[in-house]
Structure 1
Amino acid sequence: MTEVRMDTDHIQATYDAGVLTLRIPVAAEAKPRKIEISAEPDHRQTADRGQKEGLT
């Protein structure tokens, strides 16, 4: 199991009708990020390449 970092400065707690609700946000550095990956234009392939070359 991986460690989850929490933003303890922004914990919220509410109590309503006998129910205690805790909201503990995940720290910004622990949230997943998208990383863009680019390729050289020479290495691109199209989905219909085989049809144009008569390979299908």
Structure 2
Amino acid sequence: ETKAVGVFPGGQSGNPGSKWYDNMVESWANGEYYDLLFLKSADQQSDRVMGQQTISPAK
């Protein structure tokens, strides 16, 4: 089973215009990390997933 921890000090999008841009800076500065979720397949569901992004090669 894959396990990892992380924190995104600039928000997941990294967009300085986002209202969530700095919501994890304090956690990051204090060395606090969160469990990251790894799904084994695209069909697997979790109530922790708020969105999905699919990346495909150019044709």
- Common topology (TM > 0.5): no
Structure showing greater radius of gyration is: 1
Quick check: which one's strand share is greater? 1
Quick check: which one's helix share is greater? 1
Q: Normalising by structure 2, what TM-score?
A: 0.24
Q: Normalising by structure 1, what TM-score?
A: 0.25
Larger relative contact order, structure 1 or 2 (CA cutoff 8 Å, min sep 6) = 2
